[in-house]
Amino acid sequence: MQKNFPLSASSDSVKRPTELVWQALTFPPLYLSIGERCESSTKDAGETMVMKRMPERSQRCIVIGTAGHIDHGKTSLVRALTGVDTDRLPEEKKRGISIDLGFAHMALPNGSSISFVDVPGHERFVKNMLAGVSGIQAVLLVVAADEGVEPQTREHFNICRLLGLRQGFVVLTKSDIADVGQIRAARVGVEELCRGSFLDGAPIVTASAMTGTGLENVRQGLAELVGRIEPAASGRIVRLPVDRSFSVKGFGTVVTGTLSGGSLSTGDTVILHPGSRPIRVRGLQVQGKSVTRAEAGERTAVNVAGIEHTEIRRGDVLTASNRVEPSRRLAVALDWLPEQAAHSGRERFLVHLGAAEVSAHLKIWKTDAEDSRFAQLWLAKPVMAFPGDRLILRRPSPADTVAGGTVIDPFPPKRSKALEAVGRLLQLLDCSLGERIQILVEESPAGLLFADLERLCGRPTAEIRQLAEKNGGLLVHAGLPKQKVISKRWIRERQSKLVTWLSVFHKQNPSKAAAPIAAARLGLSEEAARFVFESLPLVQVNGDGVSLKSHHPQVSDAEAAALHKIERRFQLGGFAPPGVDEVLKETAADSRKARALLEQLIKQARLVRISESLVFHADVIAHIRTSLAAHKGRRFTVAEFKEWTQISRKFAIPLLEYLDRASVTRRDGDYRVVL
């Protein structure tokens, strides 16, 4: 039976032991009760999970991050709004600053709710701030009214802008200690900072966490903000970039993060990356409550089974898809901050993606001296990245944010020339998923499996299949053991090559009925070759041989006589044909030669192969087809069929199976139905 999380304590009623190190859990009240010790590990890394179902909760539940310079009042504002002090580390208490991420939540009167991610403002902890803001849907830019815009106001704002955030507003805090002139100056500074950005024209609310003045306006602003936020996409591959991993007594390992799409249910098996380790979801909490399902965009705490909390680190990723995998090389479009020169060469950067921080170097694809937009990132360790993911590039020393980036291709070709690479990235940059599928399939020499496409596109197979099937330029080949998508253009190109090759083969081997597929496949896999051959109207595939339909093998007088003899044997056999081996033996001393003659007759449709060892004359099959066609819809048993044809059971069963395959009849239990 599934074990529930403790539901007894509420955040404010619990007096937590001082040794609690990581109280800044997503939903501390439910995981922690008096005396429980919670340990944590917070280091690097990744993301993911596949979405399947629609949300079961009707209320909106969104994640908002704070941003702003050190000491500007972010934590105080969150506490005034939620009653939760997100500074929980002893060191945070001692130093009076936030060091790591803090979490709190509040309910809005309309039933919606907000999860706050409170970030530290200190310049040394921007890396922690980055682990928190990757999952937020809106920002509260907090600026102390008495100080105005400061360096980390700017850096945090830039990070939010570069991550592609679209919603948020500004709170000028500490209004109780700022005079009118300071407030006006702070407002002007903020307006200047935000000009032309997603916060241009956003409300600038003046408030004091100390006196409570203006907090009602902040609440109102939050309620309006929630209404403007687009719901996170369902039906996507879900990733849970882990920003925290800790252990709760009696429950074991709990990890937290923001689900980036889809849903996660208790009992699901998820895969931990890096390492591709499957683990089971024992329990889930969202907004401080145990739930059976967490949805895209929600701050989620996941109780996982069978793994120590120290084995999961900040930046690791949970995913429900076993087809996606982390990558060490990313093709990206970069947006450099104006004051930052374009970089390349040996300089190392820190890449922040999801909750991960990874060292990397850059290769910029320069097509002219000015252009440093497109680049390839070589990462020190793999990260789970999907096309369209945003990332931040920082210089480690002196620490500074230098650029934002968008992942264009998480698995780019290893080698290519700058012009080629840029041309390709420009194509992929703004394309739809359908166009991306087409580009990727056309690039690959023999088509792509759906599993490959899921990995390359970061989107679920069901969505990819739908788009591939309705794309006139692509062919979904169902005949292979694993379904593959092949471009029709590619087939057409191969078609002309194959036809040329076959013409040459027939010219050089005029007496051979067909070329072996293995020899004709022109560097393709046998599966792909067979698929191409079968799709060509000019070409005929027969067993292991392939030939042009227009080809008629030249035969000597002796061969013509042998052909006649073989055909005659099957014709005379009628419904009781002779054994293939027996006929071959009679025909020629050289068994390969005899088989080639038989194959020739099959190719010419004088004989029909029913199974490997059973061949009928074409007239017999034509006779059966005509006789059955006159009884459309008629049901009959094997015994009846035997009676009509006077055929033995040995031949009747394979013959009927052949007729089923040829859609002349359909099996229905003990009966056949004439189609």
Contacts for 162 with CB less than 8 Å, ≥ 6 apart: 335, 337, 390, 392, 401, 403, 404, 405
Question: According to CB under 6 A, which one of 28, 120, 189, 577 is a site residue for ligand GTP?
Answer: 120
Coil vs helix vs strand at 486: strand
Minimum CB separation from Mg ion for residue 166, in Å? Answer: 24
75 binds Mg ion (CB under 5 A): yes
174 binds ligand GTP (CB under 6 A): yes
Minimum CB separation from ligand GTP for residue 337, in Å? Answer: 21
176 binds, among ligand GTP, Mg ion, none (CB under 5 to 8 A by kind): ligand GTP
Task: Give the Cα separation of 344 and 362 in Å (integer).
Answer: 6
Are 192 and 186 a contacting pair, CB within 8 Å? Answer: no
113 binds, among ligand GTP, Mg ion, none (CB under 5 to 8 A by kind): none
Window 198-217: residues binding ligand GTP (CB under 6 A): 208-210
Task: Give the Cα separation of 570 and 547 in Å (integer).
Answer: 24
- Applying CB under 6 A, the span of 56-64, 73-81, 385-393, 600-608 interacting with ligand GTP comes to 73-81
Minimum CB separation from ligand GTP for residue 448, in Å? Answer: 47
Name which of 208 and 444 has its Cβ closer to ligand GTP.
208
Name which of 75 and 115 has its Cβ closer to Mg ion.
75
593 binds ligand GTP (CB under 6 A): no
Minimum CB separation from Mg ion for residue 23, in Å? Answer: 14
Contacts for 344 with CB less than 8 Å, ≥ 6 apart: 362, 363, 364, 366, 372, 375
76 binds ligand GTP (CB under 6 A): yes
Task: Give the Cα separation of 390 and 407 in Å (integer).
Answer: 6
88 binds ligand GTP (CB under 6 A): no
Task: Give the Cα separation of 140 and 77 in Å (integer).
Answer: 10
- Applying CB under 6 A, the span of 119-127, 326-334, 375-383, 540-548 interacting with ligand GTP comes to 119-127
128 binds ligand GTP (CB under 6 A): no
Q: Which residue is nearest to ligand GTP (CB)?
A: 121
Name which of 36 and 71 has its Cβ closer to ligand GTP.
71
Minimum CB separation from ligand GTP for residue 211, in Å? Answer: 7
Name which of 89 and 446 has its Cβ closer to ligand GTP.
89
Closest of 169, 520, 279 to residue 530, by C-alpha: 520
What amino acid is encoded at 192 in this protein?
E
Minimum CB separation from ligand GTP for residue 75, in Å? Answer: 3
Task: Give the Cα separation of 384 and 575 in Å (integer).
Answer: 63
Both tokens of 261, joined, read 């799409």
- Applying CB under 6 A, the span of 173-181, 244-252, 326-334, 360-368 interacting with ligand GTP comes to 173-181
Question: According to CB under 6 A, which one of 177, 519, 560, 662 is a site residue for ligand GTP?
Answer: 177
Name which of 176 and 660 has its Cβ closer to ligand GTP.
176
Minimum CB separation from ligand GTP for residue 139, in Å? Answer: 14
Question: According to CB under 5 A, which one of 16, 69, 72, 74 is a site residue for Mg ion?
Answer: 74
- Applying CB under 6 A, the span of 118-126, 321-329, 457-465, 576-584 interacting with ligand GTP comes to 118-126
Contacts for 87 with CB less than 8 Å, ≥ 6 apart: 24, 75, 93, 97, 98, 102
Window 432-471: residues binding ligand GTP (CB under 6 A): none
Task: Give the Cα separation of 49 and 324 in Å (integer).
Answer: 9
Name which of 112 and 173 has its Cβ closer to ligand GTP.
173
321 binds Mg ion (CB under 5 A): no
Are 264 and 49 a contacting pair, CB within 8 Å? Answer: yes
**One symbol per residue from 599 to 638: x for binding ligand GTP (CB under 6 A), - otherwise; what is it?**
----------------------------------------
Compute how many residues bind ligand GTP; rule: CB under 6 A. Answer: 20
Q: b/e string for 369-408 if b means 16 or more Cβ within 10 A?
A: eeebbbbbbebeebbbbbbebbbbbbbeeeeebbbbbbbb
Give, rounded to a whole angstrom, the gap between the first and last alpha carbons of the chain: 53
Helix (H) or strand (E) segment spanning residue 378: strand 374-383
Question: According to CB under 6 A, which one of 44, 47, 71, 147 is a site residue for ligand GTP?
Answer: 71
Task: Give the Cα separation of 403 and 522 in Å (integer).
Answer: 46
Closest of 220, 206, 154 to residue 175, by C-alpha: 206
Name which of 154 and 595 has its Cβ closer to Mg ion.
154
- As a dihedral over the C-alpha atoms of residue 300, residue 301, residue 302, residue 306, rounded to 10 degrees, the angle is 150
Both tokens of 521, joined, read 């496949």
Both tokens of 402, joined, read 């230098």
75 binds ligand GTP (CB under 6 A): yes
Q: b/e string for 42-75 if b means 16 or more Cβ within 10 A?
A: bebbbbbbbbbeebebeebbbbbbbbbbbbbbbb
Task: Give the Cα separation of 664 and 672 in Å (integer).
Answer: 10
Residue 251: how many other CB atoms lie within 10 Å? 18
Name the one residue in this structure whose structure tokens are 């945003």. Answer: 390
Minimum CB separation from Mg ion for residue 172, in Å? Answer: 17
Question: According to CB under 5 A, which one of 23, 98, 245, 540 is a site residue for Mg ion?
Answer: 98
Question: According to CB under 6 A, which one of 23, 41, 98, 376 is a site residue for ligand GTP?
Answer: 98
Name which of 89 and 364 has its Cβ closer to ligand GTP.
89
Name which of 216 and 420 has its Cβ closer to ligand GTP.
216
76 binds Mg ion (CB under 5 A): no
Question: According to CB under 6 A, which one of 73, 132, 135, 261 is a site residue for ligand GTP?
Answer: 73
Task: Give the Cα separation of 383 and 316 in Å (integer).
Answer: 8
* 3-state DSSP percent of the chain in helix, strand and coil, to 5: 35, 30, 40
Question: According to CB under 6 A, which one of 39, 123, 150, 176 is a site residue for ligand GTP?
Answer: 176
Q: What is the DSSP string of 80-115?
A: HHHS-----SHHHHHHTS--S-EEEEEE-TTS-EEE
- Mark out the alpha helices in 171-311 (DSSP H runs): 180-194, 215-228
446 binds, among Mg ion, ligand GTP, none (CB under 5 to 8 A by kind): none
Name which of 24 and 536 has its Cβ closer to ligand GTP.
24
Question: According to CB under 6 A, which one of 112, 115, 167, 173 is a site residue for ligand GTP?
Answer: 173
What residues make contact with ligand GTP under the rule CB under 6 A?
68, 70-76, 97-98, 120-122, 173-174, 176-177, 208-210
What residues make contact with Mg ion under the rule CB under 5 A?
74-75, 98
